[in-house]
Chains A and B, each alone.
Chain A
Amino acid sequence: MQLYTVHVKGRQWLTDRIFEIRFDRPSGFDFRPGQKIAFVFEQNSRDYTLLGPAHGPELSICVRHVAGGHFSPRLAAAAPGDVFQVTAPSGFFTFKPSPRPAVFVATGTGVAPFVAFERAGVRDFHLLHGVRTAENLIYGPELAAAARAYVPCLSQPVAAGGSTVHFTGRVDAWLATRLPSGGYDFYLCGNGDMIRDVMRLIDERFHSSHVFTETFF
């Protein structure tokens, strides 16, 4: 397995628990938007989707800091110049142009591959982003500017005076009630429960659709 050495260039906190971290880009390190890399450490590894752009001097990923986790605290504490080992990019969760409308569905940091798609120039997509609260709608303005429809789905009620441009409920509830029947290209990235529920809905309501999934746990 080919490994690359990358050095931390900088980090930006997007919320109190989610941050974007940037690395220098090794020469010859090419990837397709939507592909992931694995950070290798102590006989273990963790996968993260590259945010893009696919070309440029840096690589960046989006990380949820899990207190007490095995790896995310290392990234959260890393300083510029710190060194990590990563694998070559892999995976087939990439955008496939087609005549069918594209519907991206994410939960949490599962929005990362859709950021990569957007930064590669993909436009005119539906994007549902399921999170608990509005503060977790990372990359919202950037994605909303490129989307045909950007639908934040908040599972927790918003306090009076909060965001009014969101859907209160889970992503599958929006799909069940708001998306017209038909054939779509669904791209699902997030937790297994969301993917299971949306897949059931697709089989019931959107028979001629194609589905691409990336599950994280």
Chain B
Amino acid sequence: MKIYTQTGDQGKTSLISGERVPKSHPRVQACGEVDELNAVVGALAAALPPGTEAVAAELRRIQSDLLDVGAWLSAAPGSDIQQQLTPLDPDLAGRIERRIDAMTPSLPELKAFILPGGHMSAAWSHVARTVCRRAERSAIALVIPETGGESQGEARNGLAPAIVFLNRLSDYFFVLARYLNHHTGIADVPWRK
């Protein structure tokens, strides 16, 4: 099976709802950033230290959830295809919050800004955090009128769980980075002026 289709050689691609749009379209950009985040999560999972199997399972679940989020982002608002997509779990963000809450008590109190880095897995988690923030900004741009967003009403409601999920997810990656450094015996490096 050939991986290349040559259908985008004119600079256009198709949304899942059928529209042919430039590859620079904001909806394509948002999908691409969620895809990029998913790839970074894969790199993070590959760098996990021994004894973090539960984290690996969490990350696999997050990767699947991100594919669902990508499908919703790639459907134009009000399109028929939205009726066929499985609604996003309203508890997506809640699940992430519970993981944050479970990791936090084991960590030293945070008294200063910290520098991204440490164990390889923690460094990847910081990369995931920042890519996640960018994906969140792009997703929000699709629904906020001030930024030319086109998703209104019900269509916006369909995306609401995705946007809250992306927001919590970046917080999760911040805590996970600290958790992984703590787990591997690496201290946070505080910011010094």
A contact set with B: CB distance below 8 Å: 32, 92, 94, 96-98, 185, 192, 195-196, 199-200, 202-204, 207, 209-213, 215, 217
A-B interface, 4 closest residue pairs, ranked by CB to CB distance from nearest:
A210-B18, A96-B80, A199-B7, A196-B6
CB of B5 within 8 A of CB of A192, answer yes
User: Which residue of A96, A185, A192, A210 is within 8 Å of B2 (Cβ)?
Assistant: A192
Q: Which residues, 40 to 68 on B, are CB-close (under 8 Å) to A?
A: none
Tell me if B16 and A196 are in contact (CB < 8 A): no
A192 to B5 alpha-carbon distance, docked (Å)? 7
A185 and B18 within 8 A (CB): yes
Q: Would you call B12 and A203 a contact (CB within 8 A)?
A: yes
Partner of B20, one of A32, A92, A98, A203: A203
- Residues 62-96 of B contacting A (Cβ, < 8 Å): 79-81, 84
20 A-B pairs within 8 Å (CB atoms) are namely A32-B84, A92-B16, A92-B84, A96-B81, A97-B80, A98-B80, A192-B6, A196-B6, A196-B7, A200-B7, A200-B10, A209-B20, A210-B17, A210-B18, A210-B19, A210-B20, A211-B14, A212-B18, A213-B14, A217-B1
The CA of A183 and the CA of B18, in the complex, are separated in Å by 12
- Residues of B near any A CB (own CB < 8 A): 1-2, 5-7, 9-10, 12, 14, 16-20, 79-81, 84
In the bound complex, CA of A199 to CA of B12 (Å)? 10
Shortest Cβ distance from B23 into chain A, in angstroms? 12
What CA separation (Å) do A168 and B81 show in the bound complex?
35
- For the A-B complex, the count of residue pairs with Cβ-Cβ distances under 8 Å equals 45
Assembly CA distance A79 to B17 (angstroms): 41
- List 6 other contacts, CB 8 Å, given A192-B6, A203-B10: A96-B81, A98-B80, A200-B7, A207-B20, A210-B18, A213-B14
Q: Give the secondary structure class of A's interface.
A: mixed
Give the docked Cα–Cα distance between A94 and B9 (Å): 26
Give every chain B residue within 8 A of A92 (Cβ-Cβ): 16, 81, 84
- Taken together as a complex, chains A and B put the C-alpha atoms of A195 and B19 apart, in Å, by 15
Task: Note all chain A residues with C-beta closer than 8 A to B18.
Answer: 96, 185, 210-212
Which B residues lie within 8 Å of A199 (CB)?
7
Instruction: Select A94's contact among B20, B79, B84, beta carbons within 8 Å.
Output: B84
The docked-state distance in angstroms from the alpha carbon of A92 to that of B86 is: 12
State A99–B7 Cα separation when bound (angstroms). 25
Please name the residue on chain B nearest to A203 by beta carbon: B10
CB neighbours (8 Å) of B81 from chain A are 92, 96
Closest to B2 in A: A192
Pairwise interchain contact A196-B5, C-beta atoms closer than 8 A: yes
Please measure, in the bound complex, the distance between the C-alpha atom of A185 and the C-alpha atom of B10, giving whole angstroms.
19
Complex Cα spacing A67 to B145, Å? 57
Could you tell me the distance between the alpha carbons of A202 and B21 in the complex, rounded to whole angstroms? 12
A47 to B9, CA, bound (A): 27
Q: Across the two chains, which residue of chain B brings its CB closest to A211?
A: B14
Given A196-B6, A199-B7, A217-B2: A211 in contact with B20 (beta carbons within 8 A) = yes
Which of these, A96, A195, A202, contacts B5 with CB under 8 Å? Answer: A195
Q: Which residues of B contact A200 (CB under 8 A)?
A: 7, 9-10
B33 to chain A, nearest CB (A): 22
Closest to B79 in A: A96
